Amino acid sequence: MDTSTRAFVFAEPAPAVNDRRWGALRRAARARLAPFGAAVLLAAIVVALAAPLLSPYDPLAQDLGNVLARPGRVHWLGTDNVGRDVLSRVIWGTRVSLVAGFVSVAIAAAAGGVLGMLAGYAGGRADGVVMRLMDAVLSLPPLVLALALGAVLGAGLTGVLLALGVVYTPAFARLMRGQVLSVKTRDYVEAARALGASGWWIARRHVLPNAATPIVVQASLSVAFAILAEASLSFLGLGIQPPAASWGSMINAGRGYLQQAPWIVFGPGAALFVTVVALNFVGDAIRDGLDPRLRG
């Protein structure tokens, strides 16, 4: 299916490997890749933060006399259709993509977490309403939902962040609700309840720490997809406003020049691909590392 859609459907659940030998072996394999992923991710974050220092040229500086220049010593990744340095734009684009990924997932985790807790705790009617709402969001084609939300919220990165946040919320809501439900019935919780502890205290003391793990796992896996999703939305014309660029919008703008100047597409394309791959490595490592069933 479309990356666009796939990026919205969160990753498959973590497999439970209950045999020690297999588990250890798998962890070893992962361990080799995870540092690589972490290194790339760290590099991306550094690049994003230090963009003004690392970028060889002003990403907005146009040079209409030198458009579509091939990669070379002066411009390592060539220039685009208005003569801007592609490498500089890729570097600055890192900020946008990482922000899009992390912020939208943060929004989804926060909103979904709150909704899930509400549903889990209140139970009954409120639970029903919240879950039906989540189902409603899930049954819409994600791209269409993001498009409609984007059109209403107006152009710009904020609109995209909110739209993606909404689309990913159900996953976190379900997760949190599940956690609350499972913790609610535990003995020590009932004991605490009997002793007069308030819901909030129980939430803070028991629910959140337990829920933290699966939420972090889910979040880490979602960030990669959120970055891809932002790129897909840019393809359809939503998102970051010019002249700023995200990798997705650069690929979209450059796709008409694929034959003449493929570097406009492949520069950001490679950056996008490598970052998403690295995030997947890291996400998998976190999942395997935190999975209680894999430990000992």
Partner 1 sequence: MAEVVLRRLLATVPVLLLVTAGVFALLHLTPGDPVDAMMAESADASTKESLRRELGLDRPIAVQYAAWMGRLLRGDLGRSIRNGEPVLENVSRRIRPSLQLALLAMAIALTIAFPVAIASAVRHNTGVDRLGTTFALFGICMPNFLLALLLIFVFGVTLRWLPISGYLDPLEEGWSGLRSLILPAVTLGLALAAVITRTLRSSLLEALAEDYVRTARAKGLSEWVVIRGHVLKNALIPVVTVLGLQLGTLIGGAVITEYVFALPGVGRLVVDAVFARDYPLVQGVILLIALGFIVSNLLVDLLYGYIDPRIRLR
Partner 2 sequence: MVTRRDFVKSCAVASGAAVVGLRPGAAAAADGPKKGGTLRVGFYIEAATMDPHLSGSKVDRQVYHNIYEPLVTLDTRLGIKPGLAESWSQPDPKTLVFKLRRGVKFHDGTDFNAEAAKFNFDRMKTEPKSIRKGEVANIDTVEVVDAATLKVNLKKADASLLATLTDRAGMMISPKVVQERGVELGRNARGAGTGPFEFVEWVKDDHLLIKRNESYWNKQGGPYLERVRYRPIPDDTVKLQSLQGGEIDVIDYVQPRDVAAVKTDKNVMVVDVPSLADFAYQLNHGRPPFNVKALRQAVAYAIDLEQIVKGVWLNVGYPANGPIPPTSWAYDKAIPPIKRDLAKVKARLAEGGKPGGFEFTMTTNNIPLSVQEAEVIQAQLREAGITMKIRLVDASTLISDGNAKNFEMISFQWSGRPDPDGNVYQFFKTTPGTSFNWSGISHPQLDALLDRSREVSAQAERKKIFSEVTKILQDELPMIFIVHPIEPKAFSQRVQGYEAIPDGMMRFKDVWLK
Q: How far is the CB of 49 from partner 1 (least distance, A)?
A: 23
What is the number of other CB atoms lying within 10 angstroms of the CB of residue 76? 15
181 vs 192, beta carbon nearer partner 1: 181
Residue 155: name its binding partner from partner 1, partner 2, none (Cβ under 5 to 8 Å by kind).
Answer: partner 2
Could you tell me the smallest distance in angstroms from the CB atom of residue 148 to partner 1? 4
Give the nearer residue to partner 2 in terms of CB position, either 102 or 257: 257
Q: Judged by CB under 8 A, does residue 236 bind partner 1?
A: yes
Secondary structure letter of residue 77 according to DSSP:
T
Residues that bind partner 2 (CB under 8 A): 60-62, 64, 67, 81-83, 151, 155, 237, 241-243, 252-253, 255-260
At a CB cut-off of 8 Å and minimum separation 6, what does 115 contact?
Answer: 130, 133, 134, 169, 173, 176, 177
> 131 vs 203, which CB is nearer to partner 1?
131
Shortest gap between Cβ of 221 and partner 2 (angstroms)? 31
Please identify, using beta-carbon distances, which residue of 76 and 235 lies nearer to partner 2: 235
Among 110, 135, 241, 295, binds partner 1 (CB under 8 A): 135
DSSP annotation of 79 reads B
Cα–Cα distance for residue pair 165/106, rounded to 1 Å: 8
Q: Choosing among partner 1, partner 2, none, which partner's interface includes residue 192 (Cβ < 5 to 8 Å by kind)?
A: none
257 binds, among partner 2, partner 1, none (CB under 5 to 8 A by kind): partner 2
Indicate which of partner 2, partner 1, none lies near residue 62 (CB less than 5 to 8 Å, by partner kind): partner 2
* Residue (155 or 277) nearer to partner 2, CB: 155
Could you count the other beta carbons within 10 Å of the beta carbon of residue 112? 27
Please calculate the CA angle 179-111-194 and round it to the nearest 5 degrees. 40
CA neighbours closer than 13 Å in the CB half-sphere of residue 28 = 6
Q: How far apart are alpha carbons 105 and 171 in whole angstroms?
A: 11
Q: Which is nearer to partner 1, 167 or 211 (CB)?
A: 167
**Partner from partner 2, partner 1, none binding residue 253, C-beta < 5-8 Å depending on class:** partner 2
Q: Is 184 among the residues that bind partner 1 (CB under 8 A)?
A: no
User: How far is 95 from 59, CA to CA, in rounded Å?
Assistant: 13
Radius of gyration of the chain (CA): 22
Q: Which does 46 bind (CB under 5 to 8 A by kind): partner 1, partner 2, none?
A: none
Per-residue burial over 31-43, b = 16 or more CB atoms within 10 Å of its CB, e = otherwise: eebbeebbebbee
Neighbours of 226 (CB within 10 A): 31
Gap between the terminal Cα atoms of the chain: 37
Interface with partner 1, residue 17, by CB under 8 A: yes
User: Under the criterion CB under 8 A, does residue 24 sit at the interface with partner 1?
Assistant: no
Burial class (CB in 10 A: 0-12, 13-18, 19+), 211: buried
Using CB under 8 A, list all residues that contact partner 1: 1-6, 9, 12-13, 15-19, 22, 25-26, 29, 132-133, 135-136, 138-144, 147-149, 151-152, 224, 228, 231-232, 235-236, 248, 251-252, 255, 258-259, 265, 269, 272-273, 276-277, 280-281
